[in-house]
Structure formats: C-alpha cells, structure tokens
C-alpha cells in the first residue's frame, strides 16, 4: 500500500510526458508538410542568433517594460524548473526533499530561497501582464484577430502561471519541517503564519495537496502548449536558429522561374524539345502559395512559434492606418489552416483529402495581401525571428503568376515594365531625356 | 544650368575604351518622374563637382524589376534582371551607385544569384565616402541651424541596415538633426513600397504617408530629408495634405548637398 503514491506518480508522469510526446510528433509531421528549404548554411551565425535572440532575449527588451517583465518570467521559468527535478525524484522514490540529503543545507536553502524569490517576482510580473491585457487594454491585445480563443488563451496562460507559482510557495509555507530549518524560506516564512491555526495533519494535507497539484499542473501546462500560442517557449529556439540570415530586403529568387527564364533567353533552346527523361513524372511547378503545403517548412515553424504578442501588427503601417492587414493574423491563419490540414490527415488514415478550402481566400483575403508595403517592420519587430512578409509574398506570387489576380493598377504597371521597361508608359528611348530638360 | 551637366553614357566610355569609376543607375523614377529627375540632376551635379568618373546606361537601362517582384510577378522580375545583367556584364560593370533604395536593394541582393555581381552603393553612402575622402569640400551655410528630420527609406534602413550614412552626410550641412519618434529600425514606411506607389490603398482610416508626415511634423522641421524618390513623393503629398508646404520642404539628401555646394 505504501507504494501507491509512487506508482500513481509514475503513471501520471508517464501519461503527461507520453501525451505531450505524441503531440510533438504530430507537430513535427505538420511542419514537414511544408516545402523543403535548405538551412544547413552558416551554422555559426545560426547558433549565434539563437543564443542572442532566444536565449538572450535581445529583441524582447527593445520594448523595455514588456521586455523586462518577460525576462523575469523567462528566468523564473527556467530556474524554478530545477525544482521539478527534485519533485520528480521525490515522487518516484517516495522521498521528501531529496535535495536536503544530497546537498549541504546552506546550498539547498540558497537554491530554494532563489526559487521562492523568483516565484514571487514571476507572480508579480504575471499580474502586471494580466493588467496590461485586461485593464490597461494595450491596443495590440485588442485587435480584431484577438477575440474568443486567442484572447482567452492569453489569459489562461497567465492564470496557469499564477496558480503554479502560488502552489509552489504554499507547498513550502505549509511544510513544517522545511519552515523549521528556517533556511531558504525567504518568501514562504511570511506566508506560514496564514496557516498557523491549523493542525499538523491539516498542514501536511495542504502541503501534499499543493505538491501534487503543482506537479500535475506542470504536466497539464506542458500538454496545454500544443493547443496554445504558448509553444514559443520551446519553438523560439529552433525558430531563431532557422530564421532568415540574408538582409531583410532580399527576397528569394524562385528557381522554377529562373529555369524558365533561362530557357526563354537562350537563343539555342529548342522550344519543341522533348522533356528530359523522367521529367514527365514531375508535377509542374506551382508558383507561389495558395495553401499551407505550398509554404516552406520554416514558414510553418514560424506559424507554430508565433505567440501572438502583436508587436508586428503594432508596427505595421497598413494596420496602423486601419487596413485589414495584420501580420499577426497572417501567422495565426497559417497555423489554424495547418492544424486543420493536420486533422484532415489524421481523420483520413494519413492522407489529405481535399476539403474545398485553402489558406488563400478562406483564411487570408486578397485585400489583406495587397495592403502590404513590404516594409519589413513586422519582421524587424518580431522577437523570435518570424517572417510574415515571406508568406505574404508567396501568396502574392500565386495571385499574380497562377491567377493573374493583381489589382488592375498593378497589372497596368507590370504591363508597362514588360512593354517599355519602366512602371510608367514612357518609352525606353526617352530614358536619358532628363539630362537636357 | 542644364547644359553644364556632364552625363556620359557607358557607350561613350566603351567607344573610348575606358571604364568609369562608377555606374550611376538612374532608375525608372529618376529617369521619368518629374520630382525624381531633380534628384537625379542634383546627384549628377555632385558627381561633376567631385570629378567622379561616372557613366549612365541611358537608353540601355531598364527597370530593375524590383516592384514587379514585390507585387508577386517573379517572372517579370527575372526577365528584367537577366536582361539588365546581360547589359551590365557586357560593360564589365564593377561598381554601381543609385539614388533609389529599391534599385539598390534589388541590384545588391537579388541580382547576384542570377549572375549579376556588383558592388552596389546607395547615393548617400557614396556621398559620404566622397566627403570622407576629401573629394567634396566646401559646404556653405545654406542649412546651418535649420531643423532637418530624416525619413529612413525601408529598403535602405531595415532592409539593408544602413542608418548612419545618410545621417552622417546630413551632419555635414551643419543643420540640427531631429529624430522622429519612429526612426531607424522602427521607422514607419512612407506607404509607397511593395507596389503601393502604383495603386490606390486598401480601405482604411487614413493614408500611410499622412501618418508618416504627422510623425515628421511633430519634430517641427524646416526640412524633411529623404533618400528615396518614392518616399519623396509620398512625403511631399503628405505635407500638402497637412497644408504645411509653405513651411516645410521635402528634399532628397542629394539636393541638400548640391544646394549646400552652391550647385
């Protein structure tokens, strides 16, 4: 009988981690639905970006208030999680505060004391985050794409963190032996008096309850990630690693187009030549993207990484002037559609069945795409190297090259370039006239 | 004045069997847009004054294809690029300077993988080099004490991380530089990029160039300095929309330097 808690703990831990692993597999499967993209270049620069931007939070702190609060929660999250190691060992081995028997009391006290201070700071930071969202109502949290689930999701995460931090502190405050040591109870010593009237049995019950709820809460939170915008705590690292290294203004040159153009420009090319061997099996290249599978996998990783902070949208000139375009919505739509495609594949024994929907039109409208000035403000603003502009461009490419669906003025402009080498209807032979005017 | 402009073409250089120090890429706006042509001429005056051995392609130049690419027409872009690269490579061009950040970005970043590899400079970078090398001396006091705010072009700033060269050049005019709230990395687009120059904006509350101009006017400038022909048009329109054209001028850095040279 005395092993029941240990076994129960092992089962809970196994289920919690197992279910998460299952979802991670699905996540990777979905990301791999994207097109190939070569990312094996410049490894040292990529590691550096990850170290600076994800680990070092260098872009977060460009906005000092939210940046500072985020660093507090981030450091708290990482360091307090060392405590989870002790909880897991205790839970599996049936010990209590194993750390005390392997570490000198002063070291253990220092560690727990640090965790307590951080837990308290995280709690305060999270309250401020909640106030910013719900009371101060900072504009970027109240844009049209931030209703229903995205809005609730943001708050649930904050409640989760408040509860987890409280449970950790309550667990320490009601641990009679730990309080008796009077080492490391930096914060919890002030909470202990709240429970002073209670019997030792009740205290023990509260302490155990807090301990169990804390670890179960962490496992639930871990599994919540996949369904939430909060995946960034994991994906920010690969996302900054795989982020764009070229100058922001450099857009990729489509290779499929290069091949066609080279053919057209080659005077020796035989337009009636039979296709090369095996070429008839190739699916003709589709220009641009109309659905998530046309995007590359880094763009899909971007979509899962987005935590919907809205820094991109709050810098977007189109959005600032009331246009429908919101770079954050581009990322949210991409993820929502990708999830839909993933579920479709799950429901159809691993194969995608056409559902009559696509990212373009059903999620992202033409109006949004044509409002973009390609100014890169969204890309610059993103604290985790997401590139919404590249998705907008891919979808414009589809509209123009597959559907000839550009706004009429743009079509005129392009016709001019085609006919006379300038976006206006002026003759190329007049290009130097300015010199004599 | 115009008869004083020396604008040799690459064909002229070729005929003499010489190579110029730089190719001046004029760009479509710089060739055809009435406002932008003034910027082109101001830059040529500077080049003449500094005795820079330069040439233009003239009628052999064609649109870089930049705006087609941003509008999604990769096919048209690459056709333009390949055609231009053929001309540039035939003349063995090594170094290009342009007054248009869009051409600058396109030539510098997007031409290389299609076979066009050149050293490409924005005119503010080149003017800055000329001043640093002592080739462009004697700026007068035309702008001494004037309040100038610089509007960062997206394709020079964020796109290519060049924020300093235009500011360093402006410093030389002895003007007082003031920064808008949104500047450098967080500079607001003028609203012309990505093909917007050629179309009506989508439905919204206001035009981007008006919002940007409001940001510029907050700094109480005498002059809004630009480094891009499209930004110049948008900001000029914005100043008109705010009915400030009698108090605030919109000038390209090339024009400011040419004026301060008494050219």
ipTM: 0.95
A280 pLDDT more than 80: no
B72 and B126 share a domain?
A: yes
Contact A305, A232 (CB under 8 A): yes
- Is B102 in the same domain as B172? no
> Residue A281: is its pLDDT beyond 60?
no
**What's the CA gap between B62 and B53, in Å, rounded?**
22
Which residues in chain A are closer than 8 Å to B231, comparing Cβ atoms?
A: none
User: What fold does the segment set A255-269+282-426 form as a domain?
Assistant: Fumarate Reductase Iron-sulfur Protein; Chain B, domain 2 (1.10.1060)
In 3D space, the residue among B50, B22, B49, B36 whose CA is nearest the CA of residue B235 turns out to be B36
| A382 contact residues in B (CB cutoff 8 A) | none
> In this predicted model, which residue has the larger pLDDT, B1 or B17?
B17
* B227 plus B154 within the same structural domain: yes
Return the residue of A nearest to B194 by Cα. Answer: A373
DSSP A208-266: HHHHHHHHHHHHHHHHHGGGSGGGHHHHHHHHHHSS--S-TT-PPPPHHHHHHHHHHH-
In this structure, the strands spanning B95-98 and B22-25 are parallel
Using the Cα atoms of residue A405, residue A410, residue A415 and residue A417 in order, give the sign of their dihedral.
Answer: negative
CB contact under 8 A, A372 and B194: yes
Angstrom CA distances, B222 to A263, A433, A437, B1, stand at 53, 32, 29, 26
Same domain flag for B81 and B157:
no
Q: Answer yes or no: do A318 and B212 touch at CB < 8 A.
A: no
Query: How high is the mean pLDDT of chain B?
Result: 96
Strands B223-226 and B54-55: unpaired
- Asked if residue B52 and residue B150 are part of one domain, the reply reads no
Record: contact A371-B201, CB cut-off 8 A: yes
Segment A80-130, tens digit of pLDDT: 988 999 999 999 988 989 988 899 999 999 999 999 999 999 999 999 999
Preferred mutation among B26, B40, B72, B184 to probe A, highest tally of A CBs within 10 A: B72
Torsion of Cα atoms, A41 then A45 then A50 then A51, to 10°: 150
Residue B97 confidence (pLDDT) above 90: yes
**Domain CATH code at residue B159:** 3.40.50
A431 and B CB contact within 8 Å: yes
Report pLDDT for B84. Answer: 97
DSSP letters for A92-129: HHT-S-HHHHHS-HHHHHHHHHHHHHHHHHHHHHHHHH
User: A391 CB contacts (<8 Å, ≥6 apart)?
Assistant: A289, A295, A299, A302, A330, A331, A334
Question: Which residue in the set B67, B76, B193 is minimally distant from A418, CB to CB?
Answer: B76
Q: Which of A77, A14, A19, A22 is nearest to A236 (CA)?
A: A77
Examine the domain organization and report whether B200 and B121 are in the same domain: no
Residues B196 and B217 in one domain: yes
Of B12, B73, B199, which to mutate for an interface test with A (greatest number of A Cβ within 10 Å)?
B73
Nearest residue, CB atoms, B58 vs list A401, A417, A431: A431
Mind listing the pLDDT tens digit for each residue in A304-352? 999 999 999 999 999 999 999 999 999 999 999 999 999 999 999 999 9
Residue A361 region, left (φ>0) first, then alpha (ψ -120 to 50), else beta? left
Identify the pLDDT of residue A87.
93
Q: Cα–Cα–Cα angle for A185, A189, A193, nearest 5°?
A: 155
What span, in angstroms and rounded, lies between the C-alpha atoms of B55 and B71?
30
pLDDT recorded at residue A4: 86
Cβ-based contacts of A250 with chain B (< 8 Å): 105, 109-110, 159
Pick from A324, A381, A431: which is nearest to B61 by CB? A431
Look at residue A276 and tell me whether its pLDDT is greater than 80: no
Closest Cα of chain B to A378: distance in Å? Answer: 10
Find the DSSP H helices in A245-383: 255-265, 297-305, 311-315, 317-320, 327-347, 359-362, 366-370, 377-381
Boundary residue ending a domain (B130, B156, B180): B130
| B33 and B126 share one domain | yes
pLDDT for A273 equals 66
In this structure, of A122-131, A256-265, A281-290, the range with the lowest mean pLDDT score is A281-290
The pLDDT tens digits for A369-389 are 999 999 999 999 999 999 999
Find the residue in B nearest to A266 (Cα): B82
Q: Best interface-test mutation with B: which of A365, A371, A414, A429 has the largest number of B CBs within 10 A?
A: A414
Q: Does A72 touch chain B (CB under 8 A)?
A: no
Q: From residue B83, how far is each of A427, B37, B62, B121 by CA, in Å?
A: 17, 24, 8, 21
Instruction: Kindly give the interhelix angle for A82-93 and A105-134, rounded to the nearest 10 degrees.
Output: 120
Pick the residue from chain B with its C-alpha nearest to A381: B186
User: pLDDT-derived band of residue A71, with 50, 70 and 90 as boundaries?
Assistant: very high
Close Cβ partners of A205 (under 8 Å, ≥ 6 residues apart)? none
Q: Which structural domain, as residue segments, surrounds residue B146?
A: 138-260
Inter-chain touch B206–A323, beta carbons under 8 Å:
no
Mean pLDDT, to the nearest integer, of A243-268?
Answer: 90
pLDDT at B116 over 70: yes
Per CB-CB distance under 8 Å, the chain B contacts of A380 are 158, 185-186
Backbone phi, then psi, for B122, in 5-degree steps?
Answer: -80, 150
Whether B209 and B122 share a structural domain: no
The secondary structure element, H or E, covering residue B96 is strand B95-98
H or E segment to which residue B54 belongs: strand B54-55
- Closest chain A residue by Cα to residue B9: A432
pLDDT digits (tens, 9 = 90+) for A225-234: 999 999 999 9
Residue A74 near residue A57 (C-beta atoms within 8 A): yes
Q: Using the 3D structure, point to which of B95, B112, B130 is the last residue of a domain.
A: B130
Q: A260: pLDDT confidence band, cut at 50, 70 and 90?
A: confident
The reported pLDDT for the residue numbered A262 is 84
In the predicted model, is pLDDT for residue B31 greater than 60?
A: yes
CB atoms within 10 A of CB B186: 16
DSSP run (H or E) holding B41: helix B34-49
Q: What is the pLDDT of residue A197?
A: 87
The DSSP bridge pattern shows strands B22-25 and B54-55 to be: parallel
pLDDT per residue over A122-160, tens digit each? 999 999 999 999 999 999 999 999 999 999 999 999 999
Contact: B74, A257; criterion CB under 8 Å: yes
pLDDT value at position A274?
Answer: 62
B110 pLDDT higher than 90: yes
Which residues in chain A have their CB less than 8 angstroms from residue B154's CB? 249, 373-377
Do B92 and B169 share a structural domain? no
- Between chains, do A423 and B56 touch, taking CB under 8 Å as contact? no
Residue of A417, A430, A437 lying closest to B68 (CB–CB)? A417
pLDDT above 90 (res A266):
no
Question: pLDDT band for position A265 (50/70/90)?
Answer: confident
Contact (Cβ atoms closer than 8 angstroms) between residue B29 and residue B230: yes
Q: What's the number of domains chain B is made of?
A: 2
pLDDT given at position B1: 45
Burial of A2 from C-beta contacts in 10 A (0-12 / 13-18 / 19+): exposed
User: Same structural domain for residues B164 and B44?
Assistant: no
Q: Which of B108, B130, B152 is the last residue of a domain?
A: B130
Nearest to B78 among A253, A323, A422 (CB): A253
Question: Distance from B199 to chain A by nearest Cα, in Å?
Answer: 5
Most confident of A199-208, A274-283, B72-81: B72-81
Query: At residue A170, does pLDDT exceed 50?
Result: yes
Please provide the DSSP assignment of A178-193 as one string.
HHHHTSS-TTHHHHGG
pTM: 0.94
Q: Which residue in A has a C-alpha nearest to residue B207's C-alpha? A: A321
Give tens-digit pLDDT for B128-172: 999 999 999 878 999 999 999 999 999 999 999 999 999 999 999
CB pairs under 8 A between A and B: 223
Q: Does position B42 have pLDDT exceeding 50, yes or no? A: yes
* pLDDT score of B2 more than 60: no
Nearest-5° angle of CA A45, CA A48, CA A51?
155
What is the pLDDT confidence band of residue A1, given thresholds at 50, 70 and 90? low
Q: Contacts of residue A413 in chain B, CB cutoff 8 Å?
A: 67-68, 71, 195, 198-199
Cα nearest neighbour of A367 on chain B: B202
C-beta of residue B137 within 8 angstroms of C-beta of residue B154: no
Instruction: Say whether both B148 and B254 belong to one domain.
Output: yes
Q: Closest CB to A432: pick one of B56, B194, B203.
A: B56
Q: 361-390 in A: which are within 8 Å (CB) of B?
A: 367, 370-377, 379-381
Do the Cβ atoms of A409 and B199 come within 8 Å?
yes
Least confident of A188-197, A258-267, A272-281, B158-167: A272-281
Q: Name chain A contacts of B191, Cβ cutoff 8 Å.
A: 317, 321, 373
Across the interface, of B28, B59, B109, the residue whose CB is closest to A423 is B28
């Amino acid at each position: 009988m005395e092993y029941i808690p240990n076994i129960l703990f092992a089962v809970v831990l196994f289920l919690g981690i197992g279910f998460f692993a299952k979802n991670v597999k699905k996540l990777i499967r979905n990301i791999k639905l994207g097109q190939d993209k070569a990312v094996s270049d410049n490894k040292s620069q990529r590691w550096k970006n990850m170290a600076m931007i994800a680990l070092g939070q260098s872009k977060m702190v460009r906005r000092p208030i939210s940046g500072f609060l985020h660093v507090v929660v981030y450091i708290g999250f990482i360091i307090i999680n060392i405590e989870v190691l002790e909880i897991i060992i205790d839970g599996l081995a049936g010990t209590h505060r194993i750390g005390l028997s392997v570490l000198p009391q002063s070291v253990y006290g220092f560690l727990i004391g640090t965790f307590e201070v951080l837990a308290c700071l995280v709690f305060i930071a999270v309250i401020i985050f909640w106030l910013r969202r719900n009371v101060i109502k900072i504009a970027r949290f109240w844009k049209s794409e931030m209703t229903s689930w995205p809005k609730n999701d943001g708050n649930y995460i904050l409640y989760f963190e408040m509860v987890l931090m409280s449970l950790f502190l309550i667990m320490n405050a009601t641990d009679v032996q730990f309080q008796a040591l009077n080492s490391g109870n930096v914060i919890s010593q002030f909470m202990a008096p709240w429970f002073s009237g209670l019997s030792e049995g009740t205290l023990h019950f509260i302490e155990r309850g807090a301990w169990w709820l804390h670890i179960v809460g962490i496992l639930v939170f871990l599994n919540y990630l996949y369904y939430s915008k909060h995946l960034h705590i994991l994906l920010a690292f690969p996302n900054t690693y795989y982020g764009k290294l070229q100058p922001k203004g450099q857009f990729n040159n489509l290779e499929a187009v290069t091949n066609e153009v080279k053919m057209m420009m080659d005077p020796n090319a035989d337009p009636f030549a039979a296709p090369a061997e095996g070429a008839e099996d190739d699916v003709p290249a589709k220009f641009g993207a109309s659905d998530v599978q046309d995007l590359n996998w880094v763009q899909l990783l971007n979509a899962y990484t987005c935590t919907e902070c809205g820094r991109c949208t709050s810098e977007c000139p189109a959005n600032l002037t009331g246009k429908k375009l919101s770079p954050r919505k581009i990322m949210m739509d991409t993820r929502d559609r990708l999830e839909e495609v993933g579920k479709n594949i799950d429901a159809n024994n691993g194969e995608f069945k056409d559902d009559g929907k696509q990212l373009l039109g059903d999620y992202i409208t033409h109006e949004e795409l044509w409002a973009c000035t390609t100014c890169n403000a969204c890309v610059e603003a993103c604290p985790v190297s997401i590139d919404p502009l590249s998705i907008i461009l891919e979808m414009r490419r589809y509209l123009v090259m597959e559907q000839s669906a550009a706004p009429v003025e743009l079509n005129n402009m392009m016709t001019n370039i085609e006919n006379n080498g300038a976006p206006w209807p002026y003759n190329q032979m007049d290009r130097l006239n300015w010199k004599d005017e | 004045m115009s008869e004083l402009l020396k604008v040799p073409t690459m064909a002229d250089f070729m005929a003499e069997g010489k190579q110029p120090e730089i190719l001046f890429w004029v760009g479509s706006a710089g060739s055809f847009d009435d406002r932008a042509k003034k910027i082109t001429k101001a830059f040529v005056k500077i080049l003449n004054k500094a005795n820079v051995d330069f040439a233009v392609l003239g009628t052999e130049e064609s649109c870089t294809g930049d705006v087609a690419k941003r509008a999604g027409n990769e096919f048209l872009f690459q056709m333009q690029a390949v055609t231009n690269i053929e001309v540039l490579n035939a003349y063995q061009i090594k170094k290009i300077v342009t007054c248009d950040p869009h051409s600058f970005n396109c030539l510098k970043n997007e031409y290389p993988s299609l076979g066009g590899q050149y050293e490409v400079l924005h005119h503010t970078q080149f003017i800055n080099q000329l001043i640093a090398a002592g080739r462009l001396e004697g700026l007068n006091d035309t702008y001494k004490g004037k309040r100038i705010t610089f509007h960062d072009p997206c394709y020079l700033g964020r796109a290519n991380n060049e924020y300093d060269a235009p500011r360093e050049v402006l410093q030389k005019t002895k003007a007082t530089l003031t920064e808008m709230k949104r500047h450098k990395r967080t500079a607001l687009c003028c609203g012309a990029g990505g093909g917007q120059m050629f179309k009506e904006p989508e439905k919204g509350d206001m035009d981007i160039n008006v919002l940007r101009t409001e940001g510029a006017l907050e700094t109480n400038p005498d002059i809004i300095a630009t480094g891009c022909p499209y930004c110049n048009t948008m900001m000029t329109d914005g100043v008109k929309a705010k009915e400030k054209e009698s108090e605030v001028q919109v000038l390209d850095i090339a024009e400011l330097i040419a004026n301060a040279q008494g050219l």
